[in-house]
Amino acid sequence: WETDVLGCHLHHDDCQGTCQGSHVAQACSSAFPSRYSVLVASSYQHSITSVSQCCTISSLKKVMVWLRSVGNRRWGELELFTAAGACQCGMCRLSRY
Partner 1 sequence: NTGGNLHTFVGCAVREFTFLAKKPGCRGLITTDACWGRCETWEKPILEPPYIEAHHRVCTYNETRQATVKLPNCAPGVDPFYNYPVAVRCDCGACSTATTECETV
Task: Output the smallest distance, CB 69 to partner 1, in A.
Answer: 18
Which residues have a Cβ under 8 Å from the Cβ of 19 and sit 6 or more positions away? Answer: 8, 9, 10, 11, 55, 56, 57, 83, 87
Using CB under 8 A as the binding rule, whether residue 6 contacts partner 1 is answered as yes
Q: Which residues of 69-81 are buried (b: 16+ CB within 10 A; e: fewer)?
A: eeeeeeeeeeeee
User: Please, which of residues 21-40 interact with partner 1 by CB under 8 A?
Assistant: 21-23, 25, 27-36, 38
The contact set with partner 1 (CB under 8 A) reads 1-3, 5-6, 8, 11, 14, 16-23, 25, 27-36, 38, 42, 45-57, 60, 80-83, 87, 90-97
